[in-house]
Amino acid sequence: MANVVGDLAGIGIFSMIFLYVYQSKKRKKKNEMTTLGIKVTKKDQQQMVNRIESTSSAMESKGVTPPSDT
């Protein structure tokens, strides 16, 4: 009987350690992805603004007016 209780306690402790490590890695990965996503998004947004500005100025220099959004 004591062996069974000891085995179950050991399995329980091992499971808790495993879940703690799993959650820590999952949380760290999620934080890294969020941080990278924000940096990439801001960079992409700035690149799109630059492209739009350069396209608009190039079209205006050729005498073409960009279509209106309305």
For the chain, give every domain's residue range. 1-49
The average pLDDT across 55-59 equals 64
**Residue from 47, 28, 27, 50 nearest 39 by CA:** 47
Q: Higher confidence at residue 17 or residue 55?
A: 17
Enumerate residues 6+ apart whose C-beta is below 8 A from 66: 55, 56, 59, 60
Enumerate residues 6+ apart whose C-beta is below 8 A from 59: 65, 66
Enumerate residues 6+ apart whose C-beta is below 8 A from 65: 59
- On whether the pTM is more than 0.85, the answer is no
**What percentage of the chain has pLDDT greater than the value 90?**
29
Q: Higher confidence at residue 56 or residue 50?
A: 50
Q: Higher confidence at residue 68 or residue 13?
A: 13
